Amino acid sequence: DWQDVIFQNATFQKYDLTVSKGNENTQFLLGAGYLGQEGTVRYSGLGRYNIRFNIDSKVNDKLNVGANLNLARTDEDMIDVEINGVVRSALFQPPTVDVYNPDGTYAGPATNEGDAQNPLGMADRSDKTSQNNLAFGNIFGEYSILSNLKFRSSLGVNIYSTLTRDFDPTFAEGNANRTTNSLLQTSINYSDIIWENTLNFKPQIGESVKLDILTGNTIESSKNQVMSGYREGFAGNMDFLQYLDGGSFNDKTRGNLYEWSLASFYGRASVDIKGRYLMTANVRVDGSSRFGKSNRWGTFPSVSFGWRISDEPFFNIGFINELKPRFSWGSLGNQDIGLYAFSSNLSQVFYTIGSPQIPLVGYAPASDFNPDVRWETTT
């Protein structure tokens, strides 16, 4: 039964260590962890390492600072489970095919038994690995200009990188074989940075009126870069030969860069009169790189009013403890369209001209575009 051969009872292990300490002014936490997971298919699995650090400190009566940082690394050994992968091979491999030859090498099908690879050998040969690195967190500071006036600034980052290598070696197992080896290597680097600043003013007018006024801005920038390379014809299957320049033919490269940014400015004013009459007005202005210059900015206001009728002297309904109707109106903006829908994208094309005909490289529009795309507004 080839399924019994390739599947296993996978083990799982997880360890965590945390240290924390603090006093009335400063608290911190440092933690580390490891997770190990075997795959249900033999020769697959992953290991994940992580570190986290949190600190919050009161520097003096006016200044608070803090940070929350997380680092993680994941190493994964993968096997091909797609349509021509290990599991399919186990389903179609005749049970008459041995797992091993007498000399200990992997056996393969005879001429009349098809050409499917030995499923266990296929899993063992699979040299597909992924290394993922992740760093995210934020740092912040809050300064009390007055007892009711505070400024806060925070910087958040999310950085991710991955390197995937897929080496297909040569092999010969009975009627199944591969005569050319190949390497596909792909790297992805992603970053997202958010910087936010707010100024919050909370004055008290007499004993019955409370104000809460907030103004601020946020800047977000995101970048994603993808590169891949492919080659065939390596001198051997050894690890030290598995680099792209080691391939001798059929080289292919691809790469893309995607960037976008968003700038936001906003304000909010809230009034609380005796805890009975509640009014809030908001406005925000957003500018997105996903739109052309003439449509880049959008303005989105909103207002709300609440009335706690149950606090009125005339309200006297015993079975109702609180009654507060709330009325609101506002608009929301949506920027979730393609990154460059407002402009024409160019792609490389080849054109043959002249006599003798010589292929020339040029660029031509690759997609439709609409310079009038703008914020989608919902009220």
CA dist 316 and 299 (Å) reads 43
Name the percent of the chain lying above pLDDT 90.
71
Which amino acid makes up residue 372? D
How far lies 140's CA from each of 57, 185, 300, in Å? 11, 38, 27
pLDDT of amino acid 317:
84
pLDDT of amino acid 296:
95
What is the SS3 assignment for 121? helix
Cα 253 to chain centroid, rounded: 24
User: Regarding predicted confidence, which is higher, 126 or 140?
Assistant: 140
pLDDT of amino acid 85:
83
Segment among 3-12, 82-91, 130-139, 240-249 with least mean pLDDT: 82-91
User: Regarding predicted confidence, which is higher, 315 or 151?
Assistant: 151
Cβ burial, residue 247 (10 Å; 0-12/13-18/19+):
buried
Residue reference for tokens 């004055």? 203
CA dist 334 and 331 (Å) reads 10
Statement: residue 28 has pLDDT above 90: yes
Statement: residue 153 has pLDDT above 80: yes
Statement: residue 349 has pLDDT above 90: no
User: Regarding predicted confidence, which is higher, 280 or 316?
Assistant: 280
Q: What is the pLDDT of residues 68-109, one digit of tens each?
A: 999 999 999 998 877 678 888 888 888 888 999 999 899 888
Q: Where are the domains of the chain?
A: 2-144+151-192+236-249
Statement: residue 255 has pLDDT above 80: yes
Band of the pLDDT at 265, cuts 50, 70, 90?
A: very high
Helix (H) or strand (E) holding 12: strand 12-22
CA dist 119 and 99 (Å) reads 9
Mean pLDDT for the chain? Answer: 92
Residue reference for tokens 């699995």? 45
Band of the pLDDT at 330, cuts 50, 70, 90?
A: very high
CA dist 239 and 236 (Å) reads 9
pLDDT of amino acid 88:
85
